Structure 1
């Protein structure tokens, strides 16, 4: 709405006829042009390069943090151990227990830090867009979560998993006509879809808000000029506030995605199956 209002009510051209009006965020930003290897299966655009950068940084951070562990850790090791301990104790072990938590810890731990790293690039200067703002990566992560759920269920209850998932015990058999299709859709279809959409849309919405605020700040300050420049104070303040909010959302979405994956695995391992 702010983008529409600015475009409608503010001057959109310079005195010489050039276009200098306010340009709000566009979905085209999520489909950037190829930067490397265009028109090949290995084509890389800006978002793909950001994803590769995040992977390299994560590998480097964990390598540096664990290659020389000390009994009395320094600040870097202490911070890394705190993050690892938080994910281990508050998400994995608390949800799955000690035994099953250790089995699934590598993939859940990797999932958390990958999502967190990808999300944080949305507020990093010169990157300014999340690696999870295009559906490919959130979809892959959701499929991994779904596969873990199916694997855990078949591994623990090979004969009863599907039957008890689609035909919950203790229900009148006549109700299975209604219950079974609902259970199939909610358990085997909607779970990966909701995981994908939740992560994707939070990152898309956050990027659009930040671009809108800082683009408006630039417009008011350098293009509109005059008294309009005072509005840049407000839009810049909103931009800073949304940046802090995006930092919270980045961590929260990594937590929620990993926690839900752990919960789904725990449901598959439950004795009811």
Structure 2
């Protein structure tokens, strides 16, 4: 695991903190934006592109190898993410939703790959860009299919609601659709990856410090506990990484459906 140990005075250990998310440019004196997270994001995108190319460039009647994996991923996204929200429109948006799911999953898994060990979504800019892209498509679809007035009317209309109550309800639902939904989309992914990375770094640094830097009979127990917790948290992270990619794609499908159908 990526371990950061800070020494403020001889023999003193300090837990890793926000320094885990601060990166200098890869090329000294080069572009400030070309950092490790950017390189990992590009690597993840290249891996997804390579997987899809290997799976679907020359499909066979009986899928094998990469095609089997690609078709499994496609079927999962179609049946578990696209169709429940988009219904008959699911196939039209499968390219986008499959790309979102696989890209976020690849970015997340970078956090447990040796020598890389940084989940891209733990850097808030990356999930923000994806969420803003989905948000823009949602609004564009709503305006295109229903017009500005029709789209807004579809969002605020609630059958059976008294007229006087719309003064309270309308601002709340409009804020949820146009403000809150954007933030909840990317913050959920970012917060989980950020916290998971901190926890893994914390326990791995405990193990490294007490087993290698300051090995003592009493400290050995703490070091072993740190190693054990690192393994447990990493296993939990694998599950959370998949779950967060799934939830991010599910929300994307729901937002696309809201634009298409003109409803909140």
Q: Is the 8 A contact 2:141 2:260 kept in 1?
A: yes
* Cα deviation 1:94-138 (Å, max 9, x = unaligned): 32113x112221111111111101011011111111111111111
Matched, 1:61 2:18: no
- The equivalent residue for 2:151 is 161
Structure 1 unmatched ranges of 5 or more: 1-5
SS in 2 for 1:88: helix
1:26 to 17, 31, 39: 17
1:50 aligned residue (40, 58, 61)? 40
Alignment equivalent of 1:182, drawn from 172, 177, 180: 172
Per-residue CA deviation, residues 165-194 of structure 1 (Å, 9 max, x unaligned), is 235453222222211211121110000111
Partner of 2:245: 254
1:239 aligns with 2:230: yes
Query: Over aligned residues, Cα RMSD in angstroms?
Result: 2.2
56, 61, 64: which one aligns with 1:71 = 61
**Deviation string, structure 1 residues 216-261 (Cα, Å, up to 9, x no partner):** 1001101221211122222111111111111111110111011111
Aligned to 1:140: 129
* Distance of 1:23 and 1:272 partners within structure 2: 50
Q: How does 1:201-212 map to 2 (within 5 A)?
A: 201-212=191-202
- Does the 8 Å CA contact 1:121/1:129 hold for their aligned counterparts? yes
Q: Give yes or no for contact 1:37–1:44 (8 Å, CA) kept in 2.
A: no
Q: Which runs of 5+ in 2 are unaligned?
A: none
With normalisation by structure 2, the TM-score equals: 0.89
